[in-house]
Chain A
Amino acid sequence: MNKNSIVSKERLTGWLLLIPALLVLSLVFIYPIARAFWLSLLTENLGNQLQPEFSGLANYSRMLGDGRFWQSMGNTTIFTVISVILELILGLGIALVLNQSFRGRGIVRTITIIPWALPTAVMGLAWAWIFNDQYGVVNDILQRLGLIDLGINWLGSPTLAMTALIIADVWKTTPFISIILLAGLQSIPQDLYEAYAMDGANVWQSFSKITLPLLMPQILIALLFRFAQAFGVFDLIQVMTGGGPAGTTETVSIYIYSTVMRYLDFGYGAALIVVTFLLLITAVAIVSWFLNRLKVS
C-alpha cells in the first residue's frame, strides 16, 4: 500500500465520520433557511385558501409599507442595543470582581452561572410576577420607599414594559458574558500588570492599557453571540408581554411567529424570516471582520 492510498483511505473514513453530523445540521439549519427563500416568493395565506401561488417579490414590497414590520424592527433594535450594552458593562464588572481572590470565590462563581442555566421561558414568568401590577414586589418596594403612590402597570405601559424585559434579559444573560470575559482575564499574564505598576501606572491606566486591549477578542466574541441571541429574542417576550401593549414590545421574532402561527400567512412569514436572516448575517460579517483584524494585529 503506498502513502497516497493511505491518505485517501483516511479521508474516506474522515468523511464517513463527518457526514452524519453534516446531514443533521443541513436538515435543521440549511434547509429551513433555503426553504424560506423559496416560500417568500409565494403567496400562501388564508386569502387564497393556503394554495401557494408564485407572486415574485410581492411579499417584499408589502413589507416596505408594513408599519407593524418597521415597528417590530425598531423594537428589536432598541431591545438589542440597550440590553447588550448593559450586559457588556455589567458582565465586565462582574468578571473583574470574580477575578480577584477572596474567600468563597467558588460559591459566588457558581451563583453567577445559575441564571444562565435556567430556562428563559420559565424565568420570564418569574420576572412577570416580580413586575406584576397588583402584587408585584417591585411596586411594593417603590411604594414603601414612597416613590410611587399607586402600583405601576409595568407590563401594560410601553416604555416600562420594554424596561422590564431588558432587566429580565440582563439578569438572564449577563452570566454568559462574565464567564467568557473571566476566562479572558485569567489568560492575561499577571507580570504585565506588575511591570506596568512599577512604571507608576494607576489602576485606571493599567485597565485601559492592558486589560481592555487584551480582552478585546473575548469582548467581541461575547458581543457577537449576545447580539445574535438578542436580535432573535423570543421566549422572554412571548412569556412576559406577548409583544404588547399594542405591539410596543413586539420584536421581529414575535411578529414572525404570529404571522405564521396565528395569521397562517406562510409566504409573508417566510419573507420576514429571509430579511431578518440577511440583516443578521450582515451584522455578523461586520463583527467577524473586526475580530479577524484584531487577531492579525
Chain B
Amino acid sequence: MATLRDRKKLKLDTNFKQIILWISLVLIVIFFLVPIIWQVLTSVKLNEDISAIPTIYFPTRFTFRHYLELFERRPFLLYIFNSALVSIISTILCLTLGSPAAYALTRLKLPGENVILAGILIVTLFPYVLLFLGLLEIVKAVGLGNNYLALIIPYTAINLPLTILVMRSFFQQLPKDLEDAAKIDGYKIIPMLIEILLPMTLPALVTTGILTFIFAWNEYIFALTFITRDTMKTIPVATAQLGGSTLWDIPYGSIAAATILGTLPLVILVLVFQRRIVQGLTAGAVKG
C-alpha cells in the first residue's frame, strides 16, 4: 500500500511541477513578446484608435498608412539601405581582420599573447560613451563626418573582440594534425589558412557574422554623433528622431511602423539562426 501512496504522491508532485512549468513559460513568453506585439498592433491602427481612451486593444479597422508614410514622407528605404550597408561591410571587414588574428593567437605562440588576449577581453567591457569624444575628434580631423567610413571603422572595431574570441574557441577545437599534415605537404601558413582552413571555418564565420551584423545594426551613439545628414542615417537614429510637426504631435503610428520594419531583419535572423546565435554568444562570453 505504501508504494501505491508513494506513487500517487509522486504523480501529484510531477503534475504540480508541470503546472508551475507551464505557468512560468506562459509568463516568459508574454513578458518578452508583448511589447513587440503591442507595436505591431499600434502600427496598423487608425490614428483615432491609437489615441482612443480607454485603449482599444484589438482594432477592428486596419490601415497601412503608417507604413506607407515612412516611404512617402521619409527616405525610409534609404535608412534601411544605410543600416544594411554599414552592417554588412563592417561584418566582412571584421571577419577578414579578426579570423587571422584569432588564428595567430591560438596557434602561433607569439610572445605576449596572454597580455593581448587580456587586453581584448577588457576592451569588450568599455561603454561606447567613453570612446565617442576621441573618435569625434578623429572624424573631424580627417573630414569623415557624414561618411559611411565614420561608422564602418568603429563598428569593425567594436565587433573585433567578440570575433577574435569566438573564432579562437573554434580554432582551439580544430585538430592540429590537419595543419601539421598541411605543413609537411609544404604549405606556408597563409596559403594553408586560405586553402585548407577557410572552407572548414565557414560555419564559425557565419555564426560570428550574424552576431557582428546584429551589433552593428543596433549601434546608436556613434551613428547619432558622426552622421547628421538625414539621408545617411541608420535605422536606430532615424527611428528615434521621427517627430511630428509639434512637440505634442508625436506620430506614434509611424514610430510603431518604423520599429517593426527596422527590427524585422533581426527578428528573421533570430528565427532562422537561433542555435548559432546562442553558440556564438556563449563561446564569446564563457570560453573567453
Listed in ascending order, the chain A residues whose CB lies under 8 Å from chain B are: 10-11, 13-15, 17-18, 20-22, 24-25, 27-29, 31-36, 39, 93-94, 97, 100, 102, 106, 108-115, 117-127, 129-130, 132, 134-135, 137, 140, 143-144, 171, 175-176, 179-180, 182-184, 217-218, 221-222, 224-225, 228-229, 231-235, 238-239, 253, 256-257, 260-261, 266, 269-270, 273, 276-277, 280-281, 284
Q: Mark B123-144, 1 if CB is under 8 A from A, else 0.
A: 1111111111111111000000
Selecting from B69-77, B101-109, B199-207, the interface stretch reads: B101-109
Minimum CB–CB distance for B102 against chain A, Å: 9
Say yes or no: A126 contacts B39, CB within 8 Å. yes
Contacting residues of chain B (23-64) with chain A, CB-CB under 8 angstroms: 24-25, 28-29, 31-33, 35-36, 38-39, 42, 50-55
| A11 contacts across to B, CB distance below 8 A | 108-111
> Known contacts A13-B108, A122-B239, A234-B128; is A112 also within 8 Å of B266 by CB?
no
| A253 contacts across to B, CB distance below 8 A | 127, 129
| A140 contacts across to B, CB distance below 8 A | 53-55
Q: Describe A's contact surface by its main secondary structure.
A: helix
Minimum CB–CB distance for B177 against chain A, Å: 17
Q: Could you tell me the distance between the alpha carbons of A111 and B28 in the complex, rounded to whole angstroms?
A: 9
Question: Which residue on chain B has the smallest CB distance to residue A251?
Answer: B129
Say yes or no: B235 contacts A119, CB within 8 Å. yes
Q: Could you write out 14 A-B pairs with CB less than 8 Å apart?
A: A17-B104, A35-B137, A36-B130, A97-B28, A102-B25, A113-B274, A118-B266, A120-B218, A125-B239, A125-B259, A183-B286, A273-B130, A277-B130, A281-B122
| B122 contacts across to A, CB distance below 8 A | 281, 284
Q: Could you tell me the distance between the alpha carbons of A140 and B53 in the complex, rounded to whole angstroms?
A: 8
Minimum CB–CB distance for B188 against chain A, Å: 8
> Known contacts A24-B156, A28-B131, A33-B134; is A122 also within 8 Å of B240 by CB?
yes
Listed in ascending order, the chain B residues whose CB lies under 8 Å from chain A are: 21-22, 24-25, 28-29, 31-33, 35-36, 38-39, 42, 50-55, 97-98, 100-101, 103-105, 108-111, 116, 120, 122-138, 153-154, 156-158, 160-161, 164, 188-190, 193, 214, 217-218, 220-221, 224-225, 235-237, 239-240, 252, 255-256, 258-259, 262-263, 266-267, 269-271, 274, 277-278, 281-282, 285-286
> 7 more A-B contacts (CB under 8 A) besides A179-B282, A180-B281?
A11-B108, A15-B104, A24-B97, A24-B153, A29-B131, A117-B277, A176-B281
